[in-house]
């Protein structure tokens, strides 16, 4: 009877572990990963071709030369070097921000390259310079990578950061092999809802609605996501690239309200193409509400031409939506490229 009892306990324990794993791993597939939204609509090569033909009919220009100069505030890094206690966010351009929290310096999706492309001579070109030079950065302790697209995982930049700072790099499952092959030494892969404690911070890799791939035949083989950085008193959320879904609300429900939400507001048009994977300003404001955040810092615009909206439209559209939603603009912090905000 004692032997039978032990066997029964083992079976029950094994089944409970399996059940828990099935919940945690529901986004895993046989050959990669999938989004939490069961109705997620994948856009393939034919959709991209159709979109490119439609671009000729746009009523506005996508040439940065046809717009007033975008605001850039060159940053020499001196304030950042001397800040060892205050929470701060500096927008460097695109999805690259420098977060300072509890004396720890964190870069998000760093790209200093002139193009976001597999090659250096063709592909989307940078039309605003990085807000701070790499040589003027404070010591970088941590780099967080939301996914492996070329505008978010830029290997030339990561190699420079490795040579200068040797940071701890967080990334989704499946990306470590690529990064190690490029010479990065300290890489940690994470799964959704996984937590890691480092430098007195808790870093949680959280879901997004997006996709991954660096070529034609590796779609969704590596995991994409966002990050919640929890310090002693404050929390910062970095949204990476994402469409709108219930994950924003789930993050707040699980992990509590957020002080600063860094959310994308660009690369939004045409909606039939972009909506599954990129929130527009309306959805970014709703995500901000879902996250129960105090401040919204926008990003993912004003750096590369990746979509069809007028290049100067993301911030005004976000302000309109905040007004419509009855949210004071005091909660909205549209930084100039290179600008730092201390909280």
The arithmetic mean of pLDDT across residues 100-108, rounded, is: 98
Q: Are 141 and 167 in contact (CB under 8 A)?
A: yes
Q: How confident is the prediction for the chain on average, in pLDDT?
A: 93
* Count of Cβ atoms closer than 10 Å to residue 183 Cβ: 11
Q: Give the model confidence (pLDDT) of 13-43 as tens digits.
A: 444 444 444 445 899 999 999 999 999 999 9
Q: How many angstroms separate the Cα of 333 from the Cα of each of 68, 168, 207, 234, 250?
A: 21, 28, 24, 17, 24
The arithmetic mean of pLDDT across residues 226-244, rounded, is: 98
Report the alpha-carbon distance of residue 81 to residue 105 in Å, rounded. Answer: 10
pTM comes to: 0.92
Q: What's the pLDDT at 6? A: 46
Q: What is the DSSP string of 8-54?
A: HHHHHHHHHHHHHHHHHTTTEETTEE--S-TT-----HHHHHHHHHH
Main-chain phi, psi angles of 152, to 5 degrees: -125, -30
The arithmetic mean of pLDDT across residues 62-78, rounded, is: 95
Q: Give the model confidence (pLDDT) of 307-340 as tens digits.
A: 999 999 999 999 999 999 999 999 999 999 999 9
Report the alpha-carbon distance of residue 239 to residue 328 in Å, rounded. Answer: 21
Q: Give the model confidence (pLDDT) of 197-227 as tens digits.
A: 999 999 999 999 999 999 999 999 999 999 9
Query: For the stretch 241-280, what's the b/e string if a residue is b when 16 or more beta carbons lie within 10 angstroms of its beta carbon?
Result: bbbbbebbeebbeebeebbbbbbbbbbbbeeebbbbbbbb
Residue 45: which pLDDT band, with cuts at 50, 70 and 90?
A: confident
Tokens of 40: 């997620």
Main-chain phi, psi angles of 315, to 5 degrees: -70, -50
Q: What is the DSSP string of 198-261?
A: ETTEEEEEE--B----SSSS-TTSS---EEEEE-SS-EEEE--S-B--THHHHHHHHH--EEEE
């Amino acid at each position: 009877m004692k032997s039978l009892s032990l066997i029964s306990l083992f079976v029950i324990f094994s089944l409970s572990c399996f059940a828990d794993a099935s919940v945690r791993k529901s986004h895993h597939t046989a050959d990669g990963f999938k989004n939490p939204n069961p109705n997620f609509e994948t856009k393939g090569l034919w959709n991209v071709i159709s979109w490119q033909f439609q671009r000729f009919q746009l009523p506005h220009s996508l040439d940065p030369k046809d717009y007033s100069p975008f605001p850039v505030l060159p940053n020499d890094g001196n304030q950042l070097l001397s800040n060892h206690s205050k929470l701060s966010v500096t927008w460097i351009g695109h999805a690259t921000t420098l977060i300072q929290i509890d004396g720890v310096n964190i870069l998000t999706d760093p790209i200093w390259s002139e193009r976001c492309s597999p090659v250096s001579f063709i592909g989307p070109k940078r039309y605003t310079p990085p807000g701070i030079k790499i040589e003027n950065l404070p010591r970088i302790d941590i780099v967080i990578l939301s996914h492996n697209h070329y505008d978010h995982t830029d290997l030339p930049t990561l190699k420079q950061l490795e040579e200068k700072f040797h940071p701890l790099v967080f990334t989704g499952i499946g990306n470590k092999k690529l990064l190690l092959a490029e010479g990065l030494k300290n890489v940690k892969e994470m799964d959704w809802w996984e937590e890691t404690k480092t430098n007195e911070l808790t870093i949680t890799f959280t879901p997004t609605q997006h996709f991954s791939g660096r070529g034609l035949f590796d779609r969704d083989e590596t995991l994409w996501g966002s990050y919640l950085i929890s310090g002693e008193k404050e929390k910062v959320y970095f949204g990476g690239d994402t469409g709108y879904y219930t994950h924003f609300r789930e993050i707040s429900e699980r992990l509590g309200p957020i002080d600063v939400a860094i959310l994308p507001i660009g690369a939004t048009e045409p909606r039939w193409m972009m909506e599954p994977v990129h929130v527009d300003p309306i959805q970014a404001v709703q995500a901000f509400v879902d996250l129960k955040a105090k401040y919204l810092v926008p990003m993912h615009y004003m750096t590369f031409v990746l979509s069809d909206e007028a290049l100067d439209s993301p911030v005004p559209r976000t302000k309109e939506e905040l007004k419509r939603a009855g949210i004071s603009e005091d909660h909205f912090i549209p930084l100039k490229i290179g600008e730092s905000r201390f909280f």
